[in-house]
Amino acid sequence: MQSQTFQLDFDEKLNIVNFSNAFGKVCPELTVNAPFSELFKLVAPQLPLSTQIIKMFNGQLITLCPIRSPSFVFGGAFYEVDGNYCFIGYPQLTNMGQLSKMNLALNDFVHHDPINFYIGTLQLKESMYQEMIQLNDELKASAKHLEKLVEQRTQELLHAEKMASLGVLAAGVAHEINNPIGFLLSNLNTLKSYMDDIAPLLTKLNNLPDKDKEQLDTLTNIAVNWDNIDFICEDIGPLIDQSIDGSKRVSKTVAGLKSFAHPSDSKQEVMSIQQAIDLTLSLLNNELRHNVTLHYERENDVYINGNLTELSQVFINLVMNATQAVEKDGVISIKTEELENSVKIYVADNGCGISSDNLPKLFQPFFTTKEVGSGTGLGLAISHGIIENHNGSISVESKEGVGTTFTIELPLADSEAIAES
């Protein structure tokens, strides 16, 4: 029989006759004439070593364990050859690190030995195991990222649903309020016109001599409190004016609600973003406070698909907010930046800034940092809707005591659309 990498020969008395070099490295206690049964034990099957047992399991797979090195086991078989016996097998490896612990290297195995195939398989197994660990780590990272993404998208959907519900509510409120406010404004204006006609008459009557006033009281059978006529004439005008201003403010809120509830489906066409900024500055020419310095260097026209009126409404809102945020010697700057596929518009001020607590709420309907009566809280929400309707985005950065910057990004119009416009 050809000598194998792991071969152990012993006689009928079970004394060791010969052993391979590899076997000697793994089990340095091996010596010629040493009793085989005192150095090894059967672990599968668990039976005492004897000539009878060896003959019984001749050629069958068994497992041997060195008594002095119980951490290693050998798989193989007993064979009877010319009245003597031998064990041929191989160490049962679970990882490549065990080779060094057994004082073995790959060159200890003969080239044709089946153990080489086993070791190659083991190496492939370890390589695949490492790849599996790496893939598992990548899968965990992807799952974590996906979980965050799902949570983010869920919040966006919830926000969108909330906005849709609020839009329906806003539309209903606007409809219910719009007509009564219209009547109220009309009646107040009529009442003011009547008072403009009556006030001079009341003033003349109040200036009559006391004798004529007494005679007038007798004729009308009305006891007039003449001392209050001047007060009434002076007070009724401002009262009507305040009522008209309040009604106009409510009317403005209703208009904002309608705009928020029904995002404009106005036609979009190829236009220059600078055109919208120019229109904004033209409209606000008389509105900007004298203590505000406006910086705007007009760049070359950058073309987008948009609605001039709607985008001007956004810029008007941002610029007016900036004028209200800055104090004396305030500075507002408007800048455009053309990118590869989009254009960015920055509206910045050096005003009081916005607290970090309020920043996430800025685009929510009815949220305002202004004093009561100074704002509706719909301007930025409407602006946000307009920009989204233009497939763009709007964001804000702010630091208290330093200032605020709003950034709008809009996609560029394609070259064919620009050529056709």
3-state secondary structure of 90: strand
Closest CA to 25 of 41, 40, 5, 2: 5
In CATH, which of 2.170.120.12, 3.10.580.10, 3.30.70.260, 3.30.565.10 is domain 269-420?
A: 3.30.565.10
| CA angle, 407 then 413 then 417, to 5° | 160
Q: Which CATH number applies to 7-112? A: 3.30.450.260
Residue 287, exposed/middle/buried by CB under 10 A (0-12, 13-18, 19+)?
exposed
Helix 273-283 vs helix 308-325: crossing angle, to nearest 10: 50
CA distance 83 to 102: 31
Alpha carbon distances (Å) from 394 to 163, 318, 346, 384: 17, 11, 10, 6
The DSSP-derived string for 7-50 is EEEE-TT-BEEEE-HHHHHH-TT--TT-BHHHHEEEEES-----
Q: Predicted confidence band at 223 (pLDDT cuts at 50, 70, 90)?
A: low
The two structure tokens encoding residue 126: 């370890």
> What pLDDT, on the 0 to 100 scale, is given for residue 348?
93
The H or E element spanning position 399 is strand 393-399
The domain locations on the chain are 7-112, 158-261, 269-420
- Mean per-residue pLDDT for 130-146? 79
pLDDT of 143 = 81
- The Cα–Cα gap between 56 and 10 comes to 16
Burial annotation 153-184 (CB, 10 A radius, 16+ → b, else e): eeeeeeeeeebeebbeebeeebeeeeeebeeb
Fold agreement (7-112, 269-420)? no
Rg (CA), the chain: 48
| Angle (deg, nearest 10), helices 379-389 and 308-325 | 140
Summarised one tens digit per residue, pLDDT across range 32-58 is 999 999 999 999 899 999 999 999 999
Q: How many CB atoms lie within 10 A of CB 260?
A: 23
Q: What pLDDT score does 412 carry?
A: 93
Least confidently predicted of 86-90, 124-128, 293-297, 389-393:
124-128
**Residues sharing a CB contact under 8 Å with residue 168, sequence separation 6 or more, in sequence order:** 261
User: So what's the pLDDT on residue 2?
Assistant: 43
pTM: 0.42
